[in-house]
Amino acid sequence: MQYMLLIYTNPATDLAPGTPEFMEMLARYGKAGETYETDGVFKAGAALQAPATATTVKVRHGKVQTMDGPFAETKEMLAGYYLLDCPDLDAAIKYAAMIPGAETGSVEVRPVVDFSKFR
């Protein structure tokens, strides 16, 4: 089953890019990614740019509306994700715990709907 691991961080406590601590954290993300590849569960993953770069899209009464920035103001932001193919939720949680962002933010683990089952 596929699981989406959504990484949430707090911009107020995020490490500053280019610092030794930031580089160490990137190395730990790399190690987690290598584990996912080695274990054969990795499907996709990426870091996201800051919420200020987002565009929110709504369609109301057939009209497309766009708004700069994220839809809701929150203390945490969606910073990135991994899409993994794991045998079960316990395995997905094990891999989520390897993500450095879980130490200062959180990682939401959600099963992906398999729409092929509805055909």
Asked whether the beta carbons of 14 and 100 are under 8 A apart, the reply is no
Residue 100 — very low, low, confident or very high, per pLDDT cuts 50/70/90? very high
Comparing CA positions, the residue from 5, 4, 7, 10 lying closest to residue 74 is 10
Give the model confidence (pLDDT) of 41-93 as tens digits: 999 999 998 888 888 888 999 999 998 876 555 678 899 999 999 999 999 99
Which residue, chain included where needed, has tokens 């590849």? 37
Residue 77 backbone class (left: φ over 0; alpha: ψ -120 to 50; beta: rest): beta
Please determine, for residue 116, whether its predicted confidence score (pLDDT) is greater than 90. Answer: no
Give the CATH number of domain 2-114. 3.30.70.1060
